[in-house]
Amino acid sequence: MALLIILWLIFFILSFGAAGFIFVSMRKAALRPWRIKADESYKPRVSILVPTYNESAGIRFKLENLNKLEYPNELKQIIIVDSNSSDPTIDVIRDFMRQHPNANIQIVAERERKGKSAALNLALKYCKGDVVIVSDADCFWPPDILHKALPFLADPKVGAISGPKILLNPQQSWVTKTEDAYLQSMNLMKLGESKVSSTLLFEGGFSAYKKEVLESFDPYNTGSDDCGTIIGVTEKGSRALFVPEAAFFTIFPATWKGKMNIKIRRASQLIRVFTIYVLLLIRKRVKSAKRVVIQGILLYLLVPVVFIPFLVTTIALLLNFPYFAVLFSILLIPKVGFNLFEVVQNYLLLFIGICLLALNKKFIFWEKPEDRALLTEKMLHQYMLI
């Protein structure tokens, strides 16, 4: 019994203690002032890339949202890169272009669907802007996002910025409620990492890169067009920042199945991303954000593996000593229970991602999740996004 309890304590500390210490330290760092030279007058020419595949139902909303941006048209280039859609996506875009001839929209069409990063790399060849910005077709920006976010890129040490994801349907179900709470915690983490040096976790809803540091999207072929692209930024010694001013809006699945479809793919991508960071650290090719890289390797590669024996010893203790369940009465507190459920779920998803990597299973294509059907024009009008 004593040995089992000792093992349980060791695995508990390694699983939750290390993660808790990192979260608390990053939350504290998030309160620090920025150590960068932002310039509100910084107005570079931008190229906005929107990858599409069978987005005919909602692409007009996206185009209306981009057309509402408060940024000079002569400094704004919009490229829609379509991956051989089998629906009328391109027809809808062309119709919008005819109605808005000054919108400066260009279509780049792939003949064969090869994946999101491949589509973005094709579009990159047509970019004329000094800053390249990526936005998914189901993500929507406040009109002043460029005025608020781009000044952070004025600092010569900053190579990329991204912002927080805000759900359009946070109260729709327990799934969206837990996701909303999870996003708020992760945003604190990413802000703290950015204040320390850089964050390695970017979002596809708004990711902006100085073209001078962007040789290609996902250069190591991790399957992640956002986090995988940041690897190249850190290799060049540039900072990648999470900035609250770059907030964007999107919908999220209301069912657990829909959430899992997104989370498993994301977990698999993150495992591949941090495996690359391990190799780069060994080769001494990480030129910035070493502390954050090491933290990420611990959180996304080591802790999920340690969590499995913690789970096994927990079950063994419950089977042999039922009174041990008293310790878990803290889960009856709603906020604690929700947060712990999310943490445990993410550990298991990351472990599945490690297994998928071992089996060399990779998500090449991004699929249209169920959340697209939840998006309504009323939602977008409510937040004044169109």
pLDDT in tens, 182-208: 899 999 999 999 999 999 999 999 999
Question: How many residues can be counted in the chain?
Answer: 386
Mean pLDDT of 86-105: 94
Confidence of residue 376 (pLDDT cuts 50, 70, 90): confident
The tokens for 106 are 């260009």
Mean pLDDT of 107-115: 92
Can you give the pLDDT at residue 2? 81
Look at residue 4 and tell me whether its pLDDT is greater than 90: no
pTM: 0.91
Can you give the pLDDT at residue 359? 83
Element (H, E) at 159: strand 158-162
Can you give the pLDDT at residue 327? 65
- Give me the architecture of the 27-256+373-382 domain, per CATH: Alpha-Beta Complex (3.90)
Can you give the pLDDT at residue 368? 56
DSSP letter for 33, please: P
Mean pLDDT of 73-87: 95
Mean pLDDT, rounded, of the chain: 91
| Closest C-alpha to 84, from 51, 117, 124, 53 | 53
Partnered with residue 160 across adjacent β-strands are 209, 240
**Better pLDDT: 146 or 20:** 146
